């Protein structure tokens, strides 16, 4: 409530009558008419200050009717007006000898009028406001002291409607002194609420509320029309609606202040100015948006609060897996997503026919699954490719701001050559129980043919019984056939990239009993020439054709499939170099001697037990130049060291599998003695994984593990026990193909820095080795499976050290007590389960490598099965003993910590 108008203190001291002190109030009241007996006199107030008053005190006479009236008081829009009077009133009893007509009250009236100049108002025209009595009247004594007690009374008149009014005081026989008269009305003061300004508002009459519309303060705008009610008491009630600061301004108390440089406010609905998001700035005040730094952008749909972003870097580690005329491309996400989560991939395809015609876009004949552009997964299947054609796939990563950047999108390219259809001349020589086939390799081989596979079966008997033969040679004699029987033959070739499809079928009949075989020799005896279509799948990036070993028989494998089950009658077995009386003979048998002049050493890439490991190039006559790794035997070696060094070559030379490091040959006839192997661009798997921590998709990781398992299956099928399978002994090439390496005979004892002496004297890489191998040196393929489980764990944890910093003794103890490594972070449950299977205490219960390959193949075919993550939940299932949560601050991560603590618990 606020009094806004008063008629109180006079300008000059001495009078409180009808003077206006506040400019905005124009109520000017002056006593206009004085009837008989009212006098204007000076008296002293309570503090003995002199003041003017109007007095009447005609108590000795009866029938008094003395009037005192004000001038016209303009209403000024007020409907209700308050009148405060201060007066003194003499107690009749204190007046000696006054008659009974003496009064102790007086009356107050008003008269509303538009006319400010009325000189005369009839008594009957007045409206009575009240009869005023004194709360305190004063007595003789007071008078004697000249101290008067002031009474204050307030009355109001409402529902005024004319321009103004007159007030009048009627004395009917009292002794009164009117000291002050204040006439005022109330109004609701200017107010700012919810950023809306409400003007001074005069209150309504009686108890009516006055609705007032507010106006938004500077730099603000209406969110909802602001309104308030001004109450009769002069108070604001019920605020409704509000204003909000415009973009670029923020609320500060009752006004909107500009956002400072470096901050912005994008929408009026945002509360306050915020710091410019990363990679953006605002140099001026009042910014509603921050500008992006050079090279950074904001997509249309990006909220202004989002950091400015940039196009992603190029996708990495592309791998292609070719299968006839379709190829699966996989890659790792770009190292830099540009700061956005909407990275997608586009594949651009160009084809170059092998016949020298110009390259052109692939056109609509090629199909992409799930699509060619806007791929969200880092994988695509491209099908319906033309055969015998070079394709270049450019994979680009794009995000929501790629189109805003003027720079060209970075692409990684993958070149592939689709299966090459070649004509194969099939030669045939037959007897009653054998047929000799010979075929010519592809005219223009695009890569190394690892082997040919010949499948045959009795005509119309395929479902019952068929036989698969493998050979590196292109001549094969199939024996043990029935006389006079027609067999169906088909041939396909295998390269590093896998098998091509079978070519057409050829039907050949063995001679009947008694029928003479043709007299001509195999080479002359071409009785028929068949044209056979043979699909050879190769990658253009793959190596040149492998050499054909001098001995042919061991290269030929025979597997008989009966009702889908595999028999391996002719399966090859690894020959331990020590079984040779002369170890040099083993080298001669299994490794090709290379002329040192065809080797160019380029740089050192590692250190082996016997000397440096270098990379370089090998150019053999009539072969393409290829990159190779060159291990050399350091000078001053003993004969034993030379034997041990070369034993790796005689072991490696017996293997031929896409997931086993391939021996190119040896240099033994001059010094230094060298072992030449294929070059693996990405070096050893453990270092590679650490370098690319978290960068591969689960499928890529499973692909790596699958490769290793496949190599190990091959080794175990050959009865070779590796004994030191670990990520450090796996090499990775540029296509992410993993190959098992490190076949030295002495390596487990000497070479491996992880190897430690056991109580029985042998040196063993404890963390990777199965308990029975540690305890009593029982090394088998099953102990390799245990190591394989550890390699899986290394892969899934991106090269973490198994059992972290635990001592070897603690590892042995923990394993013995049944503890097993928990699932690495984000490791699918199925993979951890497979690891656990590999770590079965009883070695017969561990899976075989063949089963592991099958399991991983299934997972790759059904990636949904990889979605459930092991992480912490597995832990409790895993252990039969109590798990204690980590509370140790120094623990590096929860798994490790829980692991260590559970051990301590024990
Ligand atoms: P090793 O003596 O076989 O353990 O080799 C020592 C190091 O040389 C390995 O850890 C690799 O980093 C590197 N290395 C060995 N062979 C190759 C290869 N074929 N390609 C690339 N790097 C290799």
Average pLDDT of the residues in 536-560: 29
CA 216 to chain centre: 42
| 645: phi then psi, degrees, rounded to nearest 5 | -60, -50
More confident residue, 668 or 466: 668
For tokens 């690319």, name the residue: 692
pLDDT at 860 over 70: yes
Could you tell me the pLDDT band of residue 889, with boundaries at 50, 70 and 90?
very low
613 annotated to bind ligand: yes
- Spatial CA neighbour of 839 closest among 857, 869, 815: 815
- Nearest to 560, CA basis, from 471, 636, 465, 478: 465
Closest-lying ligand 1 atom to the alpha carbon of residue 682: 21
Ligand 1 pocket test, candidate residues 628, 675, 731, most atoms within 8 A of CB: 731
pLDDT of residue 461: 75
Q: Mean pLDDT, to the nearest integer, of 367-383?
A: 91
How many Cβ atoms sit within 10 Å of the Cβ of residue 159?
11
Please check the confidence at residue 570 and state whether its pLDDT lies above 60: no
Residue of the CA atom closest to atom 1 of ligand 1: 608
How far, in Å, is the centroid of ligand 1 from the Cα of 98?
135
Mean pLDDT of all residues belonging to the chain: 79
Classified as helix, coil or strand, 502 is: coil
With the most atoms of ligand 1 within 8 angstroms of its CB, the residue from 602, 606, 733 to mutate is: 606
618 vs 594: CA distance, rounded Å:
9
Going from the Cα of 683 to the center of ligand 1, the distance in angstroms, rounded, reads 6
SS3 of residue 546 by DSSP = coil
Q: What percent of the chain has pLDDT over 90?
A: 41
For residue 8, pLDDT beyond 80: no
Give the span between the Cα atoms of 360 and 368, in whole angstroms: 17
| Rounded Cα gap, residues 437 and 179, in angstroms | 141
Among 796, 771, 783, 778, residue whose Cα is nearest residue 856: 796
Closest C-alpha residue for ligand 1 atom 7: 606
What is the arithmetic mean of pLDDT over 685-710?
93
51-65, 336-350, 576-590, 830-844: least confidently modelled range: 576-590
First to last CA, the chain: 79
Q: Which residues pair with 330 in a beta bridge?
A: 319, 379
Check whether 517 has a pLDDT greater than 70. no
* Probe residue for ligand 1, chosen from 601, 610, 613, 753 as the CB with the greatest number of ligand atoms within 8 Å: 613
Q: How many CB atoms lie within 10 A of CB 337?
A: 17
The bridge status of strand 16-17 relative to strand 175-184 is: parallel
Instruction: Judge whether residue 695 has pLDDT over 70.
Output: yes
Banded pLDDT at 624 (limits 50, 70, 90)? confident
Q: Are 600 and 615 in contact (CB under 8 A)?
A: no
Does 794 carry a binding-site annotation? no
Helix (H, G, I), strand (E, B) or coil at 712: helix
Which atom of ligand 1 approaches the CA of 680 most closely? 20
| Catalytically active residues, by annotation | 724
The secondary structure of residue 651, as a DSSP letter, is H
Mapped onto helix, strand or coil, the DSSP state of residue 382 is strand
Q: Considering only CA atoms, which residue is closest to atom 22 of ligand 1?
A: 683
Neighbours of 304 (CB within 10 A): 19
The better pLDDT of the pair 466, 121 is held by 121
At 608 the pLDDT is 80
CA–centroid distance, residue 173 to ligand 1 (Å): 129
Backbone angles phi, psi at 584, to 5 degrees: -65, -30
Is 607 labelled a binding residue? yes
**Mean pLDDT confidence for 50-78:** 87
pLDDT of residue 484: 87
Q: Residue 743: CB partners within 8 Å, gap ≥ 6?
A: 648, 651, 652, 722
Structure confidence at residue 355 as a pLDDT band (50, 70, 90): low
Q: Measured between alpha carbons, how far is 605 from 731 in angstroms, rounded to an integer?
A: 13
Which position has the higher pLDDT, 516 or 715? 715
Compute the distance from residue 789 Cα to the ligand 1 centre, in Å.
22
CA angle 113, 118, 122 (to 5 degrees): 80
Tokens of 578: 């020590």
State yes or no: 805 annotated in a binding site.
Answer: no
- For the stretch 465-501, pLDDT in tens is 778 888 887 778 888 888 888 888 877 776 654 555 5
Name the closest-CA residue to atom 23, ligand 1: 683
Phi, psi (degrees; rounded to nearest 5) at 616: -175, -165
Taking Cα atoms as reference points, which of 153, 34, 168 lies closest to residue 109? 168
**Nearest-atom index, ligand 1, CA of 678:** 19
Cβ atoms of residues 458 and 485 within 8 Å:
yes
Q: How confident is the model at residue 745 (pLDDT cuts 50, 70, 90)?
A: low
Question: Is 80 exceeded by the pLDDT of residue 208?
Answer: no
DSSP 143-206: HHHT----EEEEEEE----SSEEEEEEEESSBEEEEEEEEEE-BEEPPEEETTEEE--EE--ST
Q: What token pair was written down for 729?
A: 């002994």
Query: What is the average pLDDT across 520-541?
Result: 29
Q: Evaluate whether 589 touches 581 at the Cβ level (below 8 Å).
A: no
Q: Are 316 and 395 in contact (CB under 8 A)?
A: no
631 is in an annotated binding site: yes
Most confident range, picked from 231-235, 259-263, 412-416, 567-571? 259-263
Is 379 flagged in the annotation as binding? Answer: no
CB atoms within 10 A of CB 607: 9
| 622: Cβ contacts below 8 Å, ≥ 6 apart | none
Burial 473-510 (b: 16+ CB within 10 A, else e): ebebbbeebeeeeebbbbbbbbbbbebbbbbebbebeb
Distance 7 CA to ligand 1 centre (A): 107
Transcribe 86-114 into DSSP letters: EEEEB-GGGSTT--TT-BSEEEEEEEEES
- Hey, whose CA ends up nearest to atom 5 of ligand 1? 608
More confident call, 418 vs 130: 130
Question: CA 137, 140, 141, 146 torsion: positive or negative?
Answer: positive
Please tell me the distance between residue 729's alpha carbon and the centre of ligand 1 in angstroms.
Answer: 8
Phi, psi of 850 (to 5 degrees): -60, -40
Beta-carbon contacts of residue 528 (< 8 Å; ≥ 6 apart): 426, 428
**pLDDT of 400 above 60:** yes
- Three-state secondary structure string covering 191-253: EEECCEEECCEECCCCCCCEEEECEECCCEEEEEEEEEEECCCCCEEEEEEEEEECCCEEEEC
Mind listing the pLDDT tens digit for each residue in 226-237? 998 888 878 888
**Distance, CA 692 to ligand 1 centroid (Å)?**
18
Q: Which of 247, 260, 259, 256 is nearest to 216 (CA)?
A: 256
Q: Return the residue matching tokens 């692409």.
A: 411
Rounded Cα distance between 600 and 820, Å, is 47
For ligand 1, atom 2, the nearest C-alpha belongs to 608
| The pLDDT value given to residue 803 | 92
The answer to whether 61 is a known ligand-binding residue is no
707 or 585: which leads in pLDDT: 707
Residue owning tokens 């068949």: 530
**589, two tokens:** 């048998």
Average pLDDT over residues 327-335: 90
Contact in structure between 326 and 383 (CB atoms under 8 Å): yes
For residue 841, name the pLDDT band (cuts at 50, 70, 90).
very high
Contact 540, 416 (CB under 8 A): yes
Q: What is the pLDDT of residue 498?
A: 53
- How close is the Cα of 20 to the center of ligand 1, in Å? 106
Beta-carbon contacts of residue 586 (< 8 Å; ≥ 6 apart): 575, 577, 580, 647, 650
Q: Which residues pair with 105 in a beta bridge?
A: 133
Exposure string of 578-590, with b = 16+ CB inside 10 Å and e = fewer, is eebeebeebbbbb
Of 46-50, 110-114, 597-601, the one with minimum mean pLDDT is 46-50
Strands 360-361 and 344-353: antiparallel
**From the alpha carbon of 607, which atom of ligand 1 is closest?**
6
Q: Atom 4 of ligand 1 has which residue's CA nearest to it? A: 608
Q: Residue 714: what pLDDT? A: 94
pLDDT of res. 464: 65
Ligand 1: which of 684, 689, 725 to mutate, judged by most atoms within 8 Å of the beta carbon?
684
Atom 3 of ligand 1, nearest CA residue: 742
Ligand 1 contacts (CB < 6 A) are 605-606, 608, 613, 629, 661, 677, 679-680, 683-684, 731, 741-742
């Amino acid at each position: 409530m606020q009094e806004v108008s008063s008629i109180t203190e006079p300008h000059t001291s001495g009078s409180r009558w009808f003077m206006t002190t506040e400019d905005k109030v124009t109520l000017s009241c002056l006593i206009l008419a004085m009837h008989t007996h009212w006098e204007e006199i000076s008296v002293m107030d309570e503090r003995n200050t002199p003041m003017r008053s109007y007095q009447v005190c005609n108590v000795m006479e009866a029938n008094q009717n003395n009037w005192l009236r004000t001038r016209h008081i303009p209403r000024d829009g007020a409907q209700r007006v308050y009148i405060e009077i201060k007066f003194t009133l003499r107690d009749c009893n204190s007046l000696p000898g006054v008659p009974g007509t003496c009064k102790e009250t007086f009356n107050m009236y008003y008269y509303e009028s538009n006319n400010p100049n009325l000189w005369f108002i009839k008594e009957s025209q007045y409206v009575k406001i009240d009869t005023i009595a004194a709360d305190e009247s004063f007595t003789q004594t007071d008078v004697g002291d000249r101290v008067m007690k002031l009474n204050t009374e307030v009355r109001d008149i409402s529902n005024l409607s004319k321009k103004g009014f007159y007030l009048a005081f009627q004395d009917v026989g009292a002794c009164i002194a009117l000291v002050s008269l204040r006439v005022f009305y109330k109004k609701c003061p200017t107010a700012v609420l919810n950023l809306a300004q409400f003007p001074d508002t005069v209150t309504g009459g009686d108890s009516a509320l006055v609705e007032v519309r507010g106006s938004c303060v500077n730099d603000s705008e209406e969110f909802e029309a602001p309104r308030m009610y001004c109450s009769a008491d002069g108070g604001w009630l019920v605020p409704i609606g509000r204003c909000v600061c415009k973009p670029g301004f923020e609320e500060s108390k009752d006004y909107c202040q500009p956002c400072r440089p470096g901050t912005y406010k994008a929408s009026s609905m945002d509360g306050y100015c915020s710091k410019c998001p990363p990679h953006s700035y605002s140099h001026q005040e009042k910014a509603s948006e921050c500008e992006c730094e050079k090279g950074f952008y904001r997509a249309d749909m990006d909220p202004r609060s989002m950091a400015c972003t940039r196009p992603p870097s190029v996708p990495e580690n592309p791998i292609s897996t070719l299968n006839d005329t379709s190829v699966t491309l996989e890659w790792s996400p770009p190292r830099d997503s540009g700061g956005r989560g909407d990275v997608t991939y586009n594949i651009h395809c160009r084809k170059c026919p092998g016949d020298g015609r110009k390259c052109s876009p692939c056109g609509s004949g090629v199909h992409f699954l799930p699509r060619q552009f806007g791929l969200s997964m880092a994988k695509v299947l491209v099908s319906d490719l033309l055969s015998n054609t070079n394709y270049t796939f450019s994979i680009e990563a794009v995000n929501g701001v790629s189109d805003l950047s003027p720079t060209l999108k970075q692409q990684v390219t993958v070149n592939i050559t689709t299966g090459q259809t070649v004509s194969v001349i099939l030669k045939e020589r037959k007897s009653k129980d054998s047929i000799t086939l010979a075929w010519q390799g592809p005219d223009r081989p695009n890569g190394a043919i690892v082997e040919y596979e010949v499948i045959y079966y009795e005509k119309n008997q395929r479902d019952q019984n068929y036989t698969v033969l493998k050979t590196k040679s292109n001549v094969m004699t199939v024996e043990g056939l029935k006389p006079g029987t027609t067999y169906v033959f088909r041939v396909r070739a295998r390269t590093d990239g896998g098998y091509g499809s079978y070519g057409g079928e050829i039907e050949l009949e063995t001679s009947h009993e008694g029928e003479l075989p043709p007299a001509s020799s195999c080479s002359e005896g071409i009785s028929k020439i068949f044209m056979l279509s043979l699909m050879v799948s190769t990658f253009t990036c793959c190596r040149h054709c492998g050499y054909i070993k001098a001995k042919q028989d061991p290269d030929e494998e025979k597997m008989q499939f009966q009702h889908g089950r595999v028999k391996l009658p002719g399966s090859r077995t690894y020959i331990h170099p020590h079984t040779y009386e002369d170890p040099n003979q083993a080298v001669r048998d299994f490794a090709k001697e290379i002329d040192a002049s065809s080797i160019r050493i380029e740089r050192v890439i590692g250190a082996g037990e016997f000397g440096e490991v270098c990379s370089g190039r090998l150019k053999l006559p009539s072969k393409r130049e290829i990159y190779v790794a060159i291990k050399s035997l350091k000078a001053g070696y003993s004969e034993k060291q030379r034997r041990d060094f070369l034993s790796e070559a005689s072991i490696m030379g017996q293997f031929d599998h896409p997931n086993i490091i391939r021996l190119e040959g040896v240099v033994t006839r001059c010094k230094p003695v060298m072992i030449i192997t294929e070059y693996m661009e990405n070096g050893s798997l453990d270092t590679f994984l650490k370098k690319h921590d978290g960068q591969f998709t689960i499928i890529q990781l499973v692909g790596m593990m699958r490769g290793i398992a496949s190599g190990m299956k091959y080794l175990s099928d050959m009865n070779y026990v590796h004994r030191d399978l670990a990520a450090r002994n796996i090499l990775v090439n540029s296509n992410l193909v993993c190959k098992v390496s490190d076949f030295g005979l002495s390596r487990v004892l000497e070479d491996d820095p992880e190897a430690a002496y056991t109580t029985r004297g042998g040196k063993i890489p404890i963390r990777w080795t199965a308990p029975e191998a540690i305890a009593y040196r029982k090394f088998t393929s099953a102990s390799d499976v245990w190591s394989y489980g550890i390699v899986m764990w290394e892969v899934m944890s991106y090269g973490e050290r198994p059992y972290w910093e635990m001592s070897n003794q603690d590892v042995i103890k923990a394993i013995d007590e049944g503890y097993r490594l928990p699932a690495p972070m984000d490791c699918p449950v199925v993979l951890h389960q497979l690891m656990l299977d590999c770590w079965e205490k009883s070695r017969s219960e561990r899976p075989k490598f063949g089963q592991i390959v099958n399991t991983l193949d299934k997972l790759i075919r059904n990636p949904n099965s990889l979605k459930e993550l092991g992480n912490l939940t597995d832990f409790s299932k895993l252990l039969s003993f109590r798990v204690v949560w980590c509370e140790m601050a120094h623990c590096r991560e929860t798994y490790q910590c829980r692991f260590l603590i559970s051990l301590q618990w024990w």
